Amino acid sequence: MTTYVVTIPGTLLAKRTDATTEILERALRPADPRGTRAGQAEHLEMLTFYSGSSAFSIRLEVEADDTEAAEREARRTVTAALRTAGYAEDEAPLGDAVITGITTE
**pTM for the predicted model, two decimal places:** 0.86
Residue 38 pLDDT exceeds 60: no
| Higher pLDDT pick, 1 / 5 | 5
User: Is pLDDT larger for residue 43 or for residue 34?
Assistant: 34
pLDDT in tens, 50-93: 987 899 999 999 999 999 999 999 999 999 999 999 999 999 99
CA distance from start to end of the chain: 9
Find the CATH number of the domain harbouring 92: 3.30.70.100
**What separation in angstroms does the CA of 52 have from each of 10, 55, 56, 84, 86?**
15, 9, 11, 24, 22
What pLDDT is recorded for position 41?
A: 47
Check residue 39 and give its pLDDT: 45
How many domains would you assign to the chain? 1
Q: What percent of the chain has pLDDT over 70?
A: 89
Range of the domain at 75: 2-103
The number of C-alpha atoms within 13 Å of 72 and in the hemisphere containing its C-beta is 6
Distances (CA, A) of 61 to 3, 5, 39: 7, 5, 9
